Structure 1
Amino acid sequence: MRAAGVMQFGGPEALQIVDVEPEPLGPGQVRLRVEAAAVSPTDTHARSGAYAGRDPVTTPPWVPGMDVAGVVAEVGDGVEHLAVGDAAMGIVGPFGPYGAYREDKVLPGGSVVRAPANATVVEASTLPMNGLTARLALDHMALQPGQVLAVTGAAGAFGGYVVQLAKADGLTVVADASEADEQLVRDLGADVVVRRGDDVADRIREQFPDGVDGLADGSVQDALVLPAVKDGGAVATVRGYRGDGQRGLRFFPTMVRKVAEDRAALDRLRRQVEDGVLTLRVARTFPAEQAAEAHRMLERGGVRGRIVLTF
């Protein structure tokens, strides 16, 4: 069957249509006929070979992709929350040829739920990885209603979900944005919007002189933005940054693989889409044959919403 993958790690041009074997279906698993796979920065890193040392598969092809949506084609013994024909979405732990960019994908039952009833499969494919990461970041920080959360990269997919989920949790949100993205971030629900940039910590402190209680650093500014957080505050990071040990700040590197089979959390996100709490944003779709161009677009930057490959 067809997949979009690489035979040799490299730039976007390395992506091509490759032939892969179907995955066997076991107990507790679900087979999806894939219609959409969202593209993320993690995928571009995988394509370039950044994670090759962690991959147990040492021979090509390698297929990226962590977000998938489509139609349930088969369910294994013990799966009761889905039925053949259901529109569904899931999160993929990619390795070797088993990423999301393929026509057929087998997932653990805990990693796949019904797609939101008010969303297309393309829209649904944008939710699992970023949505679960945002939820995990907030759960790690465990802020209480009324406390203040700062969000960097608020116009991005992860940051946007953090803003919306934080507001649903009763937090006050201060978020960064470029001038062009300010209205978008306000529409997502941010209470205060400050201009993005290397001095964003100063801008946040101007609004909250005592510092914020927590920070979700979606723009990966690491040490630059830490001055915005009060002593002893919580910081959720998305690239493993663990801070400098100063001021009693508590760091929570947020690794979505830890919750990749948390079906209850993924299904809660589905319900929040249906209830209007979360907004699914698609920037553009490309047929799988144009995966290279999808990666080029993402790497050029400035994408608002997710790029999605279609099968």
Structure 2
Amino acid sequence: MRAVGVTEFGGPEALHLVDVPAEPLGPGQVRVRVTAATVNPTDTYSRNGTYAGRDPVKEPPFVPGMDVAGVLAEIGEGVQTDLEVGAHVMGIVVPSGAHGGYREDIVLPVGSIARVPAGASDVAASTLPMNGLTARLALDKMALRPGQVLAVTGAAGAFGGYVVQLAKTEGLTVVADAAEADEDLVRELGADVVVRRGDDVAARIREQFPDGVDGLADGSVQDAAVLPAVKDGGAVTTVRGYRGDGQRDLRVFPVLVREYAQEGAALDRLRAQVEAGELTLRVAQTFPAADGAEAHRRLEAGGVRGRLVLTF
């Protein structure tokens, strides 16, 4: 079984093709023949060893990857699903050891997959599960009401872009940051107000909303620097574990997508929202799986809009 992984942690050059055993299919699980696996920033931490201490598996190879799409190849005992063998599906992966998205065959809980949106390729669909579910979880944690104001940093990124689009479907007013080159993109995603990104983005948001915003999704990982944008008692979601400074009664929620890794209904809802035109799937570039190292180099060089995808 081919996969792209590391036998020693390191830079992009550490990624290479590895042979991994096929995973057994258990009750409640499905087997997916992977045709596309998205490259996300979190994958670089799996590759360089940052997450090594969290992984219960201690022996290489380690295969990154949290998003896949492909063909449903096998359905395990006791699975209740309207999906059929041969259907094109997308799924979210919680990586551990050789169990990661960068492999040509993977076994997942049935709650981790959904049908590929109608009219979407496997490549495009593979960009949705992890970032889409993270955005969904962030909004669910904040529980804002229609008419309230949400700020989004990193709005041109995959997570931030999905937050903007989902928030607009729920009647929120969205203020988002963007570099000059990304302003049109962020407006097209649906932001009502766009401010220039940078170290002073909290002040720029306050210029537009002097009383502060009701909620903030911090996709650009600015942590304490953006808290001043939020009104007392407001809600903040973070994506790298930041828990706030304990001041002003802010409600800070670190968002870990593993919480939604088997929320099949939520993933299927995202599928329906793509089909309804409410969410946009953005692919920046594809790479053959064997060129995984080059994909990681491209990601770490910065400036990618949309997602890089490995193809099998």
Common fold: TM-score over 0.5: yes
Alignment RMSD (CA, Å): 0.5
CA distance in 2, matches of 1:64, 1:49: 11
Q: How many Å separate the matches in 1 of 2:84 and 2:152? A: 38
Q: Which runs of 5+ in 1 are unaligned?
A: none
The structure 1 segments of at least 4 consecutive aligned residues displaced by more than 3 Å after TM superposition are none
Partner residue in 1 for 2:140? 139
Deviation at 1:78, TM superposition (A): 2.5
Secondary structure of residue in 2 paired with 1:193:
strand
Instruction: Tell me the residue number matched to 1:34.
Output: 34
**What is the distance in 1 between the residues matched to 2:101 and 2:200?**
37
Q: Does 1:25 align with 2:25?
A: yes
Name the SS of the counterpart of 1:299 in structure 2.
helix
Q: In the TM superposition, what is the alpha-carbon distance from 1:27 to its structure 2 partner?
A: 1.3
Q: What is the alpha-carbon distance in structure 2 between the residues aligned to residue 81 and residue 157 of structure 1?
A: 29
Name the % identity.
77
Instruction: Give the whole-Å Cα distance in 2 for the aligned partners of 1:236 and 1:216.
Output: 5
Partners of 2:162 and 2:240 lie apart in 1 by: 17
Q: How many residues align?
A: 311
Task: Tell me if 1:50 matches 2:38.
Answer: no
Q: Distance in 2 between matches of 1:234 and 1:57?
A: 35
Bigger CA drift: 82-91 or 70-79?
70-79
Preserved CA contact (<8 Å) 1:81 1:113: no
How far is the alpha carbon of 1:169 from its aligned partner?
0.7
Q: Classify the secondary structure of the residue corresponding to 2:100.
A: coil
Give the distance between the partners of 2:285 and 2:98, measured in 1 at CA.
25
Contact 1:91 1:129 in 2 (8 A): yes
> What is the match of residue 260 of structure 2?
259
* Aligned residue identity for 1:254: V
Equivalent-residue separation in structure 2 for 1:57 and 1:245 (angstroms) = 35
Spell out the pairing of 1:197-276 with structure 2 (5 A cutoff): 197-276=198-277
Which residue of structure 1 lines up, in the alignment, with residue 154 of structure 2?
Answer: 153
Q: Which residue of 2 aligns with 1:85?
A: 86
Which consecutive unaligned segments of at least 5 residues does structure 2 have? none
User: Who is 1:184 aligned against?
Assistant: 185
State how far apart, in whole Å, the 1-side matches of 2:8 and 2:266 are: 36
Q: Secondary structure at the match of 1:230?
A: strand
Instruction: Return the offset for 1:18.
Output: 0.2
Q: How much has 1:234 moved relative to structure 2?
A: 0.2
Q: How many angstroms does 1:81 deviate by? A: 2.6
Q: Deviations over 1:137-167 (max 9, x none)?
A: 0000000000000000000000000000000
> Once the two structures are superposed, what CA deviation does each residue of 1:162-212 show, in whole Å capped at 9, x if it has no partner?
000000010000000000000000000000000000000111001000000
TM-score if structure 1 supplies the norm length?
Answer: 0.99
Equivalents in 1 of 2:102, 2:133: separation in Å? 19
Verify: 1:11 aligned to 2:8, yes or no: no
Residues 105-151 of structure 1 deviation map (CA, whole Å, 9 limit, x = unaligned): 10000001111012100000000000000000000000000000000
Contact 1:75 1:82 in 2 (8 A): no
Other-structure match for 2:282 = 281
The aligned runs of 1:97-136 (5 Å cut-off) are: 97-136=98-137
Q: Distance in 1 between matches of 2:63 and 2:235?
A: 35
1:254-287 alpha-carbon deviations (Å, 9 max, x no partner): 0000110001100000000000000000000000
2:33 is matched by which residue type in structure 1? R
